[in-house]
Structure 1
Amino acid sequence: MPLRLSLPKWPASRKKREPNHLGVVFSPGRLAVAVVREGSQGKPILVAYESFVDDPSLSEVGKWLKREGLSIESVNLTLPGDDYQMLSMDTPSVPAAERADAMRWRVKDMIDFPVDDACVDCLVLPSPDGEGEGSHAWAVVARRERVGEWMSRARKARLPLDSIDIPELALRNLLVLAPQSQATALLRLSSTGGALIVAWRGELCSFRRFNDLNIAHFAAADLMTRQSLLERLALEMQRTADAFERQFYGTSIERVWVEQSVPDLDLVQQLAPHVSMRLHAYELPEQMELGHRAAATMNRSKPPRPSLVAIGAALRRVIVSRDGGAA
């Protein structure tokens, strides 16, 4: 007869905390990281973030995680802009699982290296009226050798690399956190240039890079030069918005979130008179909960600027879990 013991009933344990996810992005002389997890109030939590400068390596990320006492379930690393291409193509008329392979043969004459040496993915855009998938897609192409190098670097740093992404999709993740019936856009200026991306129906629909408009250009410009730069940027933004709304007649850009990244310059205030869209400053505390580590970092005397790309990359698994599909 089995021995049965009457065991004491221990108090119910607290609900297990959601796993942490790490986003990583490299830019010249800088490595930015962010850790996020799902929150209980409908918003994800920015657990922590950090920047490393002076020829940083991924091994520093592992040391930082250990110092902070952070365990990580997944890592999403974004490729630098020079490591991939995005090509506009017709959506392949094949099942979704076969689209990447179909794209491979379409791009073989559009890239300057053998297609057998390429990693290819397919991102399908919504239809112009928003009803289902459209007939246009992005082909994302990267050299297999470069992707392999990033995988090797993550392995050596003992980081659990789960995926390799592109910055445009990382920023898309920020735009789709809250459901929107209309299209939304995000403008950011970084040390390497500017970018405007537009998302609708949860998909990356349009993007524009401004390689000659970066933070340093605005910060170093005199009053007249700065005004000229602002007018150029506003013109490019309006052109992008007009082209998007011609292509996707079922929507309009409801608002443009603007990262206030240029020191001593209110981009929203300066750009608003020159564009037809509604501009709003992108404030992290309005979009995400701040964990105590992230809040402490923001309160340093000289805090690093949070990288929206790193945060968006870290959100990938949160978006996948929420929407039940691939991000």
Structure 2
Amino acid sequence: MNAIAEKITRILRSSHRQNQTVGVDFTPEGIAFAHIQRPATQQPFLAHCDFLPLEAGIEPVEILRARLIKLGLQRVACNLVMPAGNYQLILGEAPKVPQEELAEALRWRVKDLVQFPIAEAVIDGFFLPEDSARGGNRMAYAVVAQHKYVEAQVNLARATGLELKNIDISELALRNLAETCCDTKRGVAIVKLQQGGGSLQIIRDGNLYLSRQFSLAYNAGLLDDLPGDSLVLELQRSLDYFERQMRQVPPSHVYLCGENVTADKITPEIRNSVAVSINLLNLENGLQIADDIPEHSLSLCLHAIGAALRQDQVG
């Protein structure tokens, strides 16, 4: 009887763990992690979310592992975010192959665009929708990383005791956030700001159409204003490229997010600068969030939250 009870307990525990995922983003300043639970009939629940600053003399993995043990999250499925400098996201004309052959076909398209031997590359790829074709040629993104960086991510997950499920990139982590918290059927732009720069992703119906990085004189402090003129210029450049070069209908909304990006910083001048609604990204539109998670932690952990929300789709 005890053996049967133990077996049932193991099955229930396994089922419970299958409905939760930890997203982790190792950054130069610390470790961002997010724990998502998926109740069967409700919105995803953000149960834990924190940014753990680095500590002198302690490995980042040890800092994270100690927190995971405290929360009882060992052996939970994990999606890691590849550090920005460890991969390239390259947009180009898609080879005429099925999805399962795309990565290998892209290898020879990008071999002259990377700074290391192509034999050392790990490559994944995803098509853009048919309506993004330029001159009748469909486009595709290639994600290219050196094998040593991918292996390092695998080793990090192993050292923390988590069960690695996916290695994601920040662009697709933000896509996951948009899919969860926004209506993307008509397209949205997600603009994430951090100290010294930002990124813009345009997502429509679950597909990443455009990704841009840009520099910005933003110090990301609590009292630092957004550099309105520079930010507006980057928005205008991105939307103009999307409409004129990619021949796409402009997105219905632009959502701003990032460290110490708050609604009061989005001035009327910024809001009225383009013919698209500009607002703060509100995670509560798609997530239940535990009461004890500070707003500032959310802004520091956006990539980790997005990684934890991944549903195994590509592109």
| Correspondence 1:101 to 2:104 | yes
Choose the corresponding residue for 1:211, options 193, 215, 221. Answer: 215
Deviates more, 1:23-32 or 1:261-270: 261-270
Partner of 1:9: none
- 1:1-327 to 2 correspondences below 5 Å: 17=16, 19-55=19-55, 57-70=60-73, 73-128=76-131, 135-177=138-180, 179-191=183-195, 193-216=197-220, 229-249=227-247, 251-259=249-257, 261-262=259-260, 266-270=264-268, 271-290=270-289, 294-298=290-294, 305-316=299-310, 319-320=311-312, 325-326=313-314
Amino acid at match of 2:35: V
Q: Which runs of 5+ in 1 are unaligned?
A: 1-12
Partner of 1:3: none
Quick check: 1:194–1:213 contact (8 Å CA) kept in 2? no
Deviation, structure 1 residue 315 = 0.5
**Secondary structure of 1:116's partner?**
helix
Distance 1:72 1:37 in 2: 14
Quick check: 2:31–2:52 contact (8 Å CA) kept in 1? yes
Deviation, structure 1 residue 31 = 0.9
Identity %, equivalent residues: 30
Deviation, structure 1 residue 247 = 4.3
TM-score, structure 1 normalization:
0.80
**Secondary structure of 1:313's partner?**
helix
Distance 1:135 1:199 in 2: 17
Amino acid at match of 2:235: M
Sort the Cα spacing of 1:278 and 1:179 in 2 relative to 1 into closer, same or farther, 3 A. closer
Quick check: 1:124–1:134 contact (8 Å CA) kept in 2? no
Quick check: 1:79–1:166 contact (8 Å CA) kept in 2? yes
Quick check: 1:187–1:197 contact (8 Å CA) kept in 2? yes
Sort the Cα spacing of 1:143 and 1:192 in 2 relative to 1 into closer, same or farther, 3 A. farther
Sort the Cα spacing of 1:182 and 1:265 in 2 relative to 1 into closer, same or farther, 3 A. closer
Deviation, structure 1 residue 257 = 1.3
Deviation per residue, 1:27-53 (Å, 9 max, x gap) = 221210001122344421111111111
Distance 1:314 1:231 in 2: 34
Amino acid at match of 2:241: A
